[in-house]
């Protein structure tokens, strides 16, 4: 299973209205994390689960959902997490 598909599968726990993942790994060729196979990704996710959650809490929720992938499949993850009303 490719990494983007696996990330999306893990994040379905948030019942996202929108999820977009861009693989930016090619921009980081030669970077230390890229040498180990970990990718660089940009995530945009919209979910009602983020209501009344701070940006930090939203990021923690996402990192917890992707915990087993961090440091192995994912070297770097940029996150934009919104509620439906925020977009």
pLDDT tens, position by position, 5-48? 999 999 999 999 999 999 998 776 666 655 566 799 999 999 99
With 0-12 / 13-18 / 19 or more C-beta atoms within 10 angstroms meaning exposed / middle / buried, residue 2 is exposed
Q: How high is the pLDDT of residue 64? A: 98
CA distance linking residue 76 with residue 39, whole number of Å: 7
Give the predicted TM-score (pTM) of the model.
0.88
> How many CB atoms sit inside 10 A of residue 26's CB?
9
Handedness of CA 4, 9, 14, 15 (dihedral sign): positive
CA atoms within 13 A on the CB side of 65: 18
């Amino acid at each position: 299973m490719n990494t983007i598909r696996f990330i999306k599968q893990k994040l379905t726990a948030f019942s996202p209205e929108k999820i977009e993942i861009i693989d930016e790994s090619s921009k980081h060729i030669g970077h230390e994390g890229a040498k180990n196979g970990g990718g660089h990704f940009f995530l945009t996710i919209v979910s009602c689960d983020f209501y009344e959650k701070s940006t930090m809490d939203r990021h923690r929720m996402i990192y917890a959902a992707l915990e087993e992938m961090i440091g192995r499949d994912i070297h770097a993850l940029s996150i934009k997490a919104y509620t439906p009303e925020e977009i």
